Amino acid sequence: MTTRLNPYLGFRDTARDAMEFYHSVFGGELTLSTFGDFQASEDPAEQDKIMHGMLETEGGLVLMGADTPNSMDYTVGTNYSVSLSGTDEAELRGYWDKLSDGGTVTLPLERAPWGDSFGMCSDRFGVSWLVNIGAPES
């Protein structure tokens, strides 16, 4: 898989409704995973919230989104990130190192509950980035 760059939208409790709306607008294939699917939250109230949603269209559009856990800040207007994902670990770690240099690491780039390496940071300009390194395709 080549490296992909796309918007990642954050919601408080409306990711499912929002992603289903965008699906009705753009078509394509919508995949939704909850925090409960990955045992990623100990808060029972968050088990059915969307941990990761991805909409992929036949025309190549990719939109991702998720509910922001209650333990994290959520401010309308800054509830978006840019996602970098793929399987080229050297390339993606290189981007991570450069983006996080002089910025703020929110979540270190390390093994995530779904098995990939994942990290979150804001660069020196305040732009939020999500980096996900998947296992190489065989």
Q: What is the pLDDT along the chain (138 residues), one digit of tens a residue?
A: 689 999 999 999 999 999 999 999 899 999 999 999 988 888 888 999 999 999 999 988 999 999 999 888 888 888 899 999 999 999 999 999 999 999 999 999 999 999 999 999 999 988 899 999 998 766
What gap in Å lies between CA 22 and CA 15, rounded to an integer?
Answer: 10
pLDDT for 95-133, tens place per residue?
A: 999 999 999 999 999 999 999 999 999 999 888 999 999
Q: What are phi and psi of 7, to 5 degrees?
A: -70, 150
- 3.40.190.10, 1.10.3720.10, 3.65.10.10, 3.10.180.10: CATH of 4-133: 3.10.180.10
Domain ranges of the chain: 4-133
Q: Render the burial of 98-121: b for 16+ CB within 10 Å, e for the rest.
A: ebbeebeebeebeeeeeeebbbbb
